[in-house]
């Protein structure tokens, strides 16, 4: 079994890197597989102000770089390879990548989730520069500014209410003429004096030279276009997009139990398959933040160690 890893972790966002750190520190032979680059969603964040201990002007990339250094410092191996096929049912799990095949006693799935994009011109260029997908992460950066929330579901309306703690005005832009959020949530929003609404509209374009400065909205019924320009004194405004997330779990469909594409686990990150764990944004959970992802990863690694101790003889 010399060529078999104790743990293979698929994904190197905060959940995967925390799992790698804890697994390697427990002297398990640990491999972290990543198809692109380490960090997940956090690498698009300019400032990480709500992660405990990140008080030295930490950015998403700098925080991830520290995590990578820690995990590798304890002996975790990190390989860039895209997983194409996987067998989780046997005692020894087989992961087939584009470059090689890997075997493991336990697998931790930490493939994350991505926010659903609007697809509007300028959106990607201005992400982190006025365009955000996380009110908890970035709301405080828009103190006393105007903010637009795109979406009409529970998350969009709840996040709009959260943003009223910082922004002087929050406008919900929805592509329909009624919200999809639960009635109880809608009622709170309608009663909030800081929240306005723009109906039957969607963003056609976002513009700005290094920072969001204007956007064009198109009315879906009349076709009329309206340009919204940042207040001259403010210089910018915020656009928070909440039109859903896309869990990166298609590879595991019909293998592990899921709910709306998210992997179901218990409190110990165990899936319905022995020796298979899930951590971070790819699993069913109430809060998707770096701090909860790293906690998931730590728990998954400790539980993987216990699983191996109980199921594999030395």
Encode pLDDT of 26-85 as tens digits: 999 999 999 877 666 666 565 676 788 876 667 778 888 889 999 999 999 999 999 999
Closest CA to 18 of 91, 76, 59, 86: 76
* Positive/negative CA dihedral, 74, 287, 33, 306: positive
Helix runs in 26-176, H state only: 60-73, 135-138, 154-163
Q: Of all helices (H) and strands (E), which one includes residue 231? A: none
Q: Is 134 considered catalytic here? A: yes
Q: Is 138 considered catalytic here? A: yes
What is the pLDDT, as a whole number, of residue 247? 94
pTM, rounded to two decimals: 0.78
Helices first, then strands: H and E counts in the chain? 6, 19
**CATH number, span 131-241:** 3.50.50.60
**CATH number, span 5-115+245-311:** 3.50.50.60
Q: Which of 6, 81, 138, 281 is an active site residue?
A: 138
Q: Is 282 considered catalytic here? A: no
Query: Is 197 within 8 Å of 172 (Cβ atoms)?
Result: yes
What is the pLDDT, as a whole number, of residue 164? 96
Q: What is the β-pairing status of strands 113-115 and 131-132?
A: unpaired
Q: What is the pLDDT of residues 195-205, one digit of tens each?
A: 999 999 999 99
Q: Which of 6, 57, 81, 137 is an active site residue?
A: 137
Q: Which of 6, 57, 90, 134 is an active site residue?
A: 134
Domains 5-115+245-311 and 131-241 share a fold: yes
Domain boundaries, the chain: 5-115+245-311, 131-241
Average pLDDT of the chain is 92
Closest CA to 195 of 148, 142, 155: 148
Residue 54, token pair as written in the block: 């990140």
What is the pLDDT, as a whole number, of residue 1? 43
Query: Is 182 within 8 Å of 169 (Cβ atoms)?
Result: no
Query: Is 190 within 8 Å of 166 (Cβ atoms)?
Result: no
| Cα 200 → chain centroid | 28
User: How far apart (Å, rounded) are the C-alpha atoms in residues 202 and 211?
Assistant: 20
Positions in the chain short of pLDDT 50? 1-2
From residue 81, alpha-carbon distances to 3, 14, 99, 188, 260 in Å are 17, 18, 6, 47, 27
Residue 55, token pair as written in the block: 């008080």
């Amino acid at each position: 079994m010399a060529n078999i890893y104790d743990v293979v972790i698929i994904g190197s966002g905060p959940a995967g890197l925390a799992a790698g750190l804890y697994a390697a520190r427990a002297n398990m032979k640990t491999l972290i597989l990543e198809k692109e680059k380490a960090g997940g969603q956090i690498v698009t964040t300019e400032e990480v102000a709500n992660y405990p201990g990140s008080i030295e002007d930490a950015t998403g990339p700098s925080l991830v770089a520290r995590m990578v250094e820690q995990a590798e410092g304890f002996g975790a191996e990190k390989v860039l390879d895209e997983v194409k096929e996987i067998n989780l049912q046997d005692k020894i799990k087989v992961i087939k990548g584009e470059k090689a095949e890997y075997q493991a006693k336990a697998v931790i799935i930490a493939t994350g989730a991505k926010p659903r994009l609007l697809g509007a011109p300028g959106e990607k260029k201005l992400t982190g520069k006025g365009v955000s997908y996380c009110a908890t992460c970035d709301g405080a950066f828009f103190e006393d500014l105007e903010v637009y929330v795109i979406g009409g579901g529970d998350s969009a309306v709840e996040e709009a209410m959260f943003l009223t703690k910082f922004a002087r005005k929050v406008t919900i832009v929805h592509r329909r003429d009624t919200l999809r959020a639960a009635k109880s949530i809608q009622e709170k929003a309608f009663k909030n004096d800081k929240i306005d609404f723009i109906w039957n509209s969607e963003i056609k374009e976002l513009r700005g030279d290094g920072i969001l400065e204007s956007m064009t909205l198109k009315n879906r019924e009349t076709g009329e276009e309206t340009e919204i320009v940042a207040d001259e004194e403010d210089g910018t405004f915020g656009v928070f997009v909440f039109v859903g997330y896309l869990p990166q779990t298609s590879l595991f469909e019909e293998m592990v139990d899921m709910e709306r594409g998210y992997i179901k686990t218990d409190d110990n990150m165990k899936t319905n398959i022995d020796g298979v764990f899930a951590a971070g944004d790819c699993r069913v959970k109430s809060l998707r933040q770096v701090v909860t992802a790293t906690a998931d990863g730590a728990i998954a690694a400790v539980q993987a160690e216990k699983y191996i101790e109980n199921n594999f003889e030395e």
